Amino acid sequence: MKQISKTFVLFLLLVASACSALAAPVDKQDLSKLREQIGVLESVINQGLTQSFPGPFGYLDRARGAYLPGYGLVFTFEVNLNPLPQANPFGPAAKPQTDTDRLAAIKKHRQSALELSQRVLADFSHTLEINPDEWVAFIVHGSAVGPQGIEKSTLVIRAQKRDIDQFRANAIDRAAFLNRIAVVEY
C-alpha cells in the first residue's frame, strides 16, 4: 500500500511540474529577440509588397506582425485587389474596366498576394525562433471596388514551423513544402 501511495505521489509531482513548465510565461528576453525577428520579417514583407503592388495605393496597409503564445506568429497586411489605371497626362485617357477585366485583375492581385506570402514563408521565415509545433500565418485583407461598393475579402496562409525547418534542411522539396501550406479564402 505504501509503495502504491509513493508511486501515486511521485506521479502527481511529475504531472504538476509538467503543467507548471507548460504554463510558464515566455521569457521577456526571448520576446525582445522575437520582436526584432518580427521586425525583420515585416521589412521583408513590405519590400515584397512594394515590388508586387507598385504605384500609389497598390497596397493599403503595411505588414504588421504579432506573436500569439501557443499559436505562433501572425502577419497581416492589406492590398488593393483592383487598383485604378494610372492617370497619365501625356498619354491617352484610361478606359473604364469591364466587369470581366475587373474580376481578372482581382484574381491576378489575389494570386500575387498568395505567391508573395508563400515566397516569404519558404525563403525567410526559417529565421524565426518559435517552437516547431507553432505556426507562421499571413492574413491578407483584400479590398476591391465593385458595383455594390467596396468588396472585402480575406486570405489566410499558414505553415507550421516544423515544415519550414524541414524545407530549409532539404528534408522536403519546395513543391512538397508548398503543398503543406494551408490556404483559406473567404
Q: Mean pLDDT, consecutive 10-residue segments, the chain of 186 residues?
A: 49 44 52 94 93 78 93 94 64 70 87 95 95 97 86 96 97 97 96
Using CA atoms, how far apart are residues 136 and 153, in angstroms rounded to an integer?
20
The torsion of the CA quartet 74, 79, 114, 166, rounded to 10 degrees, works out to -30
Q: What per-residue confidence (pLDDT) applies to 139?
A: 97
- Angle (CA) 114 81 136, round 5°: 30
**pLDDT, position 89:** 64
Joined together, the cell numbers standing for residue 100 give 470581366
CA distance 48 to 44: 6
CA-to-CA distance for 44 and 21, rounded, in angstroms? 34
* Cβ contact 42:67 at 8 Å: no
Q: What's the pLDDT at 60?
A: 83
* 142 vs 109: CA distance, rounded Å: 9
Written as nine digits, the cell of 147 is 458595383
Phi, psi angles (nearest 5°) of residue 95: -80, 145
